[in-house]
Structure 1
Amino acid sequence: MTSARIRKTTIKDVANAAGVSTATVDRVINNRAKVSPATATRVLDTYRRLASNATADLPGEPERRLRFDFVMESSKPFIDSIKTAVERIASSYQRFNISLHIHQAPLPFNLQEFTMRLSAIATESDGIVLVCREDPAITSCLNAISKAAVPLVCLTTDLVDTERLGYVGINHVSAGRTAGSLLGQFIGPQSGDLILLLTGSFRCQYERELGFRSLIREAYPNLSIREVYAHQETDPDCFAKLSEALKSHPVRPLAVYNTGGGIRGVADALTAMGWSREVLFVGHELNDASLELMTTNRMAAVIGQDTKSEVAVAVNALLHHHQRTTTPPTYTPAAPLVFLKENIGTLISDGLPIFHGELNGP
């Protein structure tokens, strides 16, 4: 394979062309801190334009087309948000001569089938971006893939025992602590129970639980945690498990924190008890379902992440590995985003790529 001869575009070049500071460019490119959507868009568009101009008309033999595969095991709404992000960035990477492919693990999850599919995908892949649970069998499979010279990037949830290039996503301990802080401040001095709804076997959810429990223990001794476990990140399973827990306990909880998917099932369980307005509900990922629940006052807040930026960073990491770009990857976890009913309108109008289909879609 012939490596691309890329004339480097510097942060200073982008800052001068976009009319912003070099610090702002650094924050946007590396997703280090919050920048207004309009400014981020201007910086990224400027970077792409300068980078494209810098590589135009370079002599050299055409490079082999690279294939990058996104392999995902998660709830449908979250996978849909990743698919949307992949589709929206694809055109920005045409000049790198790559193709992006998406694979979704079917439900119910089957560990043996998943590892077999991973191994099959790896035989044709030049890089895998992975969203999945932690399991020794998966770790063994991925380390074998890595030894076969197929680079791996963990997206939104880490697999720390794998030989991956790095993890791209938010700080999930911080996300759990943020959820605890929001609920503690919403509730105030009142004493009572919080329900912690756990789903799946993902490291991101373990870390969210750790952050949530530690914050409540440290800052809000007036609040007690009751745990409910749902085996699947689906609306039916979350509805069934939470409904059972609510009916079996005589005292109405003050709030519910859901660490994973199935948020519509959680909201429906509270509605079925007649508590949709009395019990605060905080969960994760801004998508069609959570948008509807917030706008109808059935969800107090959503802890989210910028999936488009994360997908772009993951693709850049694979490009850098293959020497198709000189822009080094960054694996510093980003800060979680907090979405309330009052602040989502501007984000939607600025085109934040988090929605798949129409409101009330599947």
Structure 2
Amino acid sequence: MGKPTVHDIAREAGVSLATVDRVLNARPGVREKTAARVHTAIEKLGYVRDIYAANLARQRNYNFVFILPDGQSQFLHSMRDAIAEARVGLLADRSDIRTITVQLRDPAAMIRTMHRIEHARVDGVAILASETPMVRDMIAHFKERGISVVALVTDQPNSERDHFVGIDNLAAGRTAGHLMGRFARRPGRVAVVLNTTQARDMVDRRLGFDEVLTRDFPHLVALPSLEGRDDHERTAQVLNACLDSVGDVSGIYCVGAGMRGVTQVVAARGLTGKVTVVGHDLTPHTRAALEAGTVDVIINQNTGHLVRSAARVLRARCDGAPVIASQEKIRIEIVLKENLP
């Protein structure tokens, strides 16, 4: 017997082809009992829908929007480049991506962004943003309108988002703690610089870092977090003030944005090779810092994989298809000067 078709389902369930089509595409207008008969027939016959063929027949196109914060960090630049690169390949698969940058602390900008998306035919949204009430409201707004939502890089666990795409940030922080413990040249204090304590990825990384240092490396003591707020000059200022206050540190952990400020301070104070520096995200700057020895190790997540995974997850949500967990798991990469790609 060949593969079952929609005609076989209609015959088995005793309904019309139009009814089968409505059930398969989750469209309204089918009574609950009738829909149940169709689903029973599908299960009995072992029908597996060819979603690609169905979308091709209907000339279905997917429109996705990636919302990124309005910033100039090199990580954000790499995300935009990865989106542009992925877009070329996705167009052949009837999917399109466009990017909207928004000042996420500005309520007026948030509202304008919601209206722009609302008035366009958008199937899914990927949001890279700190977890705030405004962002949660934005996600709820999209979900009310049937738009799939993915949290990108930093999770929004208290929102209605459909999926998170990014590394396990708690595990990334633990990795940073282990590396700091192994690489630190002497006992002492560790300065911790992060972007903002409002960002879930920053908080999780800090928690993981503290957990490992406290448990496995008690000779290293992590200092209170310094907020750079995605501003390299501010990062340099708060780090300099910290070093002036405590006198000496054995290591510096840059939890997120701000590495240019950190390396500026390390170089200016003659600390290269004396203080262990662990950071995140391989960018042109962190690559150069690794090569120069200013930074010891970078914990990276592949931006191309992040973007492609977010697009695949959004499409799966639109199709009602399962997400392949192993395919969408973003790996934690450890980059040293010796293994620079």
TM-score when normalising by structure 1: 0.74
The answer to whether the 8 A contact 2:228-2:258 is kept is: no
- The residue type equivalent to 2:262 in the other structure is V
Structure with bigger gyration radius: 2
- Structure 2 vs 1, CA of residues 255 and 157 (structure 1 numbering), >3 Å: closer, same or farther? same
Q: RMSD value over aligned CA atoms? A: 2.4
- Structure 2 vs 1, CA of residues 327 and 75 (structure 1 numbering), >3 Å: closer, same or farther? farther
Q: Which residue of 1 aligns with 2:112?
A: 117
Give CA deviations for 1:11-51 in whole Å, capped at 9, x if unaligned.
xxxxxxxxxxxxxxxxxxxxxxxxxxxxxxxxxxxxxxxxx
- Structure 2 vs 1, CA of residues 59 and 257 (structure 1 numbering), >3 Å: closer, same or farther? closer
Q: Which residue of 2 aligns with 1:161?
A: 158
Unaligned runs of 5+ in 1: 6-53, 348-362
The answer to whether the 8 A contact 1:208-1:259 is kept is: yes
Tell me, yes or no, if structure 1 residue 322 matches structure 2 residue 318.
yes
Q: Which residue of 2 aligns with 1:199?
A: 195
Give CA deviations for 1:271-322 in whole Å, capped at 9, x if unaligned.
2222122111111100111111111111000011122112111101111222
The answer to whether the 8 A contact 2:62-2:315 is kept is: no
Give CA deviations for 1:310-356 in whole Å, capped at 9, x if unaligned.
21111011112222x95734386534110000001xx3xxxxxxxxx
Distance 1:75 1:206 in 2: 22
Tell me, yes or no, if structure 1 residue 304 matches structure 2 residue 271.
no
The answer to whether the 8 A contact 2:194-2:257 is kept is: no
* Structural mapping, 1:159-308, within 5 Å: 159-187=156-184, 190-200=186-196, 201-250=198-247, 252-308=248-304
- Structure 2 vs 1, CA of residues 135 and 327 (structure 1 numbering), >3 Å: closer, same or farther? closer
The answer to whether the 8 A contact 2:65-2:98 is kept is: yes
Distance 2:292 2:157 in 1: 39
Shift of 1:132: 0.2
TM-score when normalising by structure 2: 0.78
Give CA deviations for 1:104-128 in whole Å, capped at 9, x if unaligned.
234xx53313421331233122211
The answer to whether the 8 A contact 1:313-1:329 is kept is: no
Unaligned runs of 5+ in 2: 6-50
Q: Which residue of 1 aligns with 2:124?
A: 127
The answer to whether the 8 A contact 1:239-1:265 is kept is: yes
- The residue type equivalent to 2:63 in the other structure is R
Distance 1:117 1:317 in 2: 26
Q: Percent identity?
A: 22
Alignment: residue pair count: 287
Distance 1:270 1:121 in 2: 44
Distance 1:261 1:75 in 2: 10
Shift of 1:146: 0.8
If asked which structure has higher relative contact order (CA below 8 Å, sep 6+), I would say: 1
The answer to whether the 8 A contact 1:316-1:327 is kept is: no
Shift of 1:131: 0.3
Distance 1:165 1:317 in 2: 9
- Secondary structure of residue in 2 paired with 1:197: strand
Q: Which residue of 2 aligns with 1:69?
A: 65
- The residue type equivalent to 1:298 in the other structure is T
- Structure 2 vs 1, CA of residues 193 and 316 (structure 1 numbering), >3 Å: closer, same or farther? same
Distance 1:238 1:119 in 2: 32
Shift of 1:75: 5.5
Distance 2:264 2:164 in 1: 34
Give CA deviations for 1:255-275 in whole Å, capped at 9, x if unaligned.
100111010111101222221
- The residue type equivalent to 1:302 in the other structure is I
Give CA deviations for 1:189-241 in whole Å, capped at 9, x if unaligned.
x3211111122121011000000000000001111111242241121111111
- The residue type equivalent to 1:118 in the other structure is T
- The residue type equivalent to 1:103 in the other structure is I
Distance 2:279 2:308 in 1: 25
- Secondary structure of residue in 1 paired with 2:79: helix
Q: Which residue of 2 aligns with 1:353?
A: none
The answer to whether the 8 A contact 1:131-1:154 is kept is: yes
Q: Which residue of 2 aligns with 1:97?
A: 94
